Structure 1
Amino acid sequence: MSKPAGQIAATLRAADRDRYLSVLYAPEGKRDALFSLYAFNAEIAAIRDRIREALPGEIRLQWWRDVLAASEGAGEGHPVAAALVETIRLHNLPRSAFHNYLEARIFDLYDDPMPSRVDLEGYCGETASAIIQLAALILDPAAAPAHTKLAGHAGCALAITGLLRLLPIHRARGQCYVPRDILASAGMSPEEFLAGAPDGSARHAVEATVALASDHLAAFLKNAPDLPPGLRPAFLPLAVVPAYLSKLSRNPAAALETSAGISDLRRHWIMLRAASSGWR
């Protein structure tokens, strides 16, 4: 691993432990490309944490669009950007997927509530599902297209679970990713959810969102045994989702105040088991 690649891996390890661990189970020759893809995802996901207003975030997203649309050599001076441009070139990744990803991420910069569960699934599809599919194309471009639907369900389960784990942060800064129609079915508005309604409505909304993530996880697990071993590392971040959802299901109200987590030892064991045996 080169020095820049090592720096990118270290950055990913700090920002996204689950995806970092998943790369360690990929073939050595594919790891740098996966590190660059996941580091890009982590960097875009962190933009909201670094800005006070939406406009600087929009400018940052536009910078990435310009870099990814440019010819070879773009992104020099920015290790993650330069590595990603090289990854796209070497693996012939579709630039349209990155464009759609960046468009979807505009939502993160504003405080508009998520309109509906369909909109949430679309957001997850353009972000987490796209990252899984791109990782699959890096690992095995011939086999990956046949598993696009599986990547869709995997990405929705992964992303919705991640949003549930980030509920305390999102609520503190006025963001509502829980869809408006789910909140309505629980008898509350996005404003009431963010304010912390004193009754059980917020808990019911969390339970309904956990159920949505669980539905996508079940749809993934139904066909996961057919996943070729060569593509398995692209889906490995999903391996820990059942543990997170189990914890969220046991105490939905706690998700409003604290992030559901698992120990590093358990995370390693779950990832190792999935990498070795897949999903059965």
Structure 2
Amino acid sequence: MTSVDLDTQVRGADLDRWLSSRFVDDLQARADLIALYAFEAELVAIPTRVTQPLLAEMRYTWWAEQMDGVFSNTPRKGHPVLEALTDLVARHGLERSGFDALIEAHIGRVHKQPHDLDAFFTAPMQLAVQILAGAGYDDAVRPAGQVFGLMQTGQEREAKAFIPVANKALKSLPSKAFPAVAHAGLSRSAPESVKRLQLFWNTVRGRI
């Protein structure tokens, strides 16, 4: 699977963030975002491939074990997502905690635990911003991550009410990092054409 294949994978699994990534001009940075999103897509897909919670947990445990290789620069050979993830982790100095927390949150969901919105949505968004603009913007991104989490879990009214808080925090975010957050306020039910237009307008204004 090549970088083009990862791009296709993310487009099919996570249209909103794929569309946002189109606003990243730097092709390497865009590919790095796609690698992160492809990793998340792999985790999201597990419950659709196995029916038993124990089997799903075993697959998540496998991914958790693979993080040892990712963060020691010795990824599982021949696995394009792990190889791409290892490369971007090394180049951007990403910390492991967010990846481990995301896997644990998925295991929790398999066992019917409530969504850990920080692990599922906020921390990955903070990692995406670090890829595009470096470290130091976690606080600026956190409210947008909360909006994204609320939107994705069907709490659209609560999300929209929180958008002004998120936009105020995002004023300190560099414009080159905005594609990592531009999708936060998109309605899940909106057609692709509407999402494209909204993302363009969001990016021009620097607001979600």
TM-score by length of 1: 0.68
**Corresponding residue number in structure 1 for 2:60:** 61
Find the partner of 2:144 among 142, 145, 154. 154
* TM-aligned CA distance change 1:72 to 1:225, over 3 Å: closer
Q: Distance in 1 between matches of 2:183 and 2:119?
A: 17
Q: Distance in 2 between matches of 1:15 and 1:33?
A: 17
Shift of 1:105: 1.6
* Paired AA for residue 179 in structure 2: P
**Corresponding residue number in structure 2 for 1:272:** 200
Q: Distance in 1 between matches of 2:205 and 2:76?
A: 39
Shift of 1:45: 1.5
**Corresponding residue number in structure 2 for 1:11:** 9
What is the DSSP-based 3-state SS (H/G/I as helix, E as strand, rest coil) of the residue aligned with 2:166? helix
* Paired AA for residue 22 in structure 1: S
Shift of 1:239: 4.6
**Corresponding residue number in structure 1 for 2:22:** 24
**Corresponding residue number in structure 2 for 1:93:** 94
**Corresponding residue number in structure 2 for 1:124:** 117
Shift of 1:109: 0.7
* TM-aligned CA distance change 1:268 to 1:211, over 3 Å: closer
Shift of 1:98: 0.8
**Corresponding residue number in structure 2 for 1:229:** 175
* Paired AA for residue 271 in structure 1: L
1:135 pairs with 2:108:
no
Give the alignment of 1:142-221 within 5 angstroms. Answer: 144-145=135-136, 147-164=137-154, 209-221=155-167
Shift of 1:111: 2.5
TM-score by length of 2: 0.90
Shift of 1:226: 3.1
Shift of 1:12: 0.3
Shift of 1:139: 0.8
* Paired AA for residue 160 in structure 1: L
- RMSD after superposition: 1.9
Query: Which blocks of at least 5 consecutive residues in structure 1 are unaligned?
Result: 115-119, 165-208, 245-259
**Corresponding residue number in structure 2 for 1:256:** none
Q: How many residues align?
A: 205
Q: Any idea what the Cα deviations from partners look like across 1:177-208, whole Å, max 9, x if unmatched?
A: xxxxxxxxxxxxxxxxxxxxxxxxxxxxxxxx
Q: Distance in 2 between matches of 1:11 and 1:215?
A: 32
What is the DSSP-based 3-state SS (H/G/I as helix, E as strand, rest coil) of the residue aligned with 2:171? helix
The question of whether the paired residues in 2 share the 8 Å contact of 1:239 and 1:274 is answered with no
1:43 pairs with 2:42:
yes
The question of whether the paired residues in 2 share the 8 Å contact of 1:48 and 1:108 is answered with no
Name which one, 1 or 2, has greater alpha-carbon Rg: 1
